[in-house]
Amino acid sequence: MLDGPTDIPGGRRPGRPGDGGRAEGASKSAGTPRSMLPAMELNGTAAIVTGAASGLGEATARDLAAAGCRVVVADLSEQQGKAVAEAIGGLFVRTDVSDEQSVQEAVDAAASAGPPLRVAVSCAGILFAARTVGRDGSPHPLAPYQKVIDVNLIGTFNLMRIAAAAIARTEPADSDGQRGVIINISSIAGMEGQVGQTAYSASKAGIIGMTVPAARDLASIGVRVNAICPGIIETPIYGSGPGREDFLAKLVAPIVFPKRMGTPAEVARFVRAVVENDYLNAEVFRFDAGIRLQPR
Ligand code: NAD
């Protein structure tokens, strides 16, 4: 039975270089000013990242691995996922985030990877565009709407709930009683979707809407929940068709500064900053160089 942040066994994690070998559970109390204490330690922990075969997920998996995490690369794409896992010394688990059994198996792999599972990042996502009533007068098809909700929203909820249940079984990592962090990738389209984005925007707004109640739900097990809303980031999600450059130029035009697409590495660095800062919780962060999406 887990009682929450006040029930804290101490001293579970070995110290890290520079902290005088201080044990983890006792590390954030004994007289050291908080401003001088280390952030959430990632070295020697496990993490799971969905959508990690490509784009933001891949960059995030690489960054977490560089910080010392054993990362489970959870993705539908077997070939790319295996290559990423191999490159970072992680583990690929073929995962369909919309299928709860599949997510359970990926989380089980992360939870039994050796080090304690501390981080779950939902990056798996798909795009779809259609007007609510098409130019030909026909209503938005329902099947793709349901598919986008299944992958982007239910997939994110699947990882959050199943990973949090696994994280709850670990010992607290520090004297706050913190056990782990969930990061859900939403989108600025969840706030200001463009023409044709009812399905995508609804799925991403759902992620935003879950943030505060999930953080409240998971506080008792010492798990923080934050959502990140990227703007326009250069990844394969925009496809490779002939109209790609024109399409992207239109998207980039309203960016305030720097006037370019963001990079997956910049997103990954921000994910890590949010993970590592113990005081960030229940927040929705725009990550967009000041853009406000235009109607089209
Ligand atoms: P991407 O296409 O490069 O990567 C998405 C990954 O998700 C792929 O590896 C794909 O195989 C995987 N995936 C798709 N469906 C899946 C499923 N059912 N189960 C498991 N994995 C699945 O895209 P990206 O740009 O890196 O996007 C990552 C996330 O960031 C998405 O949720 C996307 O909506 C969001 N986002 C991206 C941008 C952007 O500009 N790139 C902006 C805002 C939000």
Q: Ligand 1 in contact with 54 (CB < 6 A)?
A: yes
Supply the pLDDT for residue 21.
34
Domain residue extents for the chain: 40-287
Q: Ligand 1 in contact with 278 (CB < 6 A)?
A: no
- Residue with CA at minimum distance from ligand 1 atom 10: 51
User: Considering the entire predicted model, what is its pTM?
Assistant: 0.90
CA proximity to 174, closest of 66, 45, 62? 45
Nearest-atom index, ligand 1, CA of 124: 7
Supply the pLDDT for residue 27.
45
CA 80–ligand 1 middle distance (angstroms): 13
Q: Ligand 1 pocket: which of 58, 95, 97, 123 to mutate (most atoms <8 Å of CB)?
A: 123
Q: Ligand 1 in contact with 193 (CB < 6 A)?
A: no
Asked about 200 being catalytic, the answer comes back as yes
Nearest-atom index, ligand 1, CA of 204: 34
Q: Ligand 1 in contact with 230 (CB < 6 A)?
A: yes
Q: What is the 3-state secondary structure (H, E, C) of the chain?
A: CCCCCCCCCCCCCCCCCCCCCCCHHHCCCCCCCHHHCCCCCCCCCEEEEECCCCHHHHHHHHHHHHCCCEEEEEECCHHHHHHHHHHHCCEEEECCCCCHHHHHHHHHHHHCCCCCEEEEEECCCCCCCECCECCCCCECCHHHHHHHHHHHHHHHHHHHHHHHHHHCCCCCCCCCCCCEEEEEECCCHHHHCCCCEHHHHHHHHHHHHHHHHHHHHHHHHCEEEEEEEECCECCHHHCCCCCHHHHHHHHHCCCCCCCCCECHHHHHHHHHHHHHCCCCCCCEEEECCCCCCCCC
CA 187–ligand 1 middle distance (angstroms): 11
Q: Ligand 1 pocket: which of 75, 92, 121 to mutate (most atoms <8 Å of CB)?
A: 75
Low-confidence ranges of the chain (pLDDT < 70): 1-38
- Residue with CA at minimum distance from ligand 1 atom 32: 125
Supply the pLDDT for residue 113.
87
**How much is the CA Rg of the chain, to the nearest whole Å?**
20
Supply the pLDDT for residue 243.
87
Q: Ligand 1 in contact with 151 (CB < 6 A)?
A: yes
Q: Ligand 1 pocket: which of 49, 54, 252 to mutate (most atoms <8 Å of CB)?
A: 54
Nearest-atom index, ligand 1, CA of 102: 19
**The domain made up of 40-287 is a member of CATH 3.40.50.720:** yes
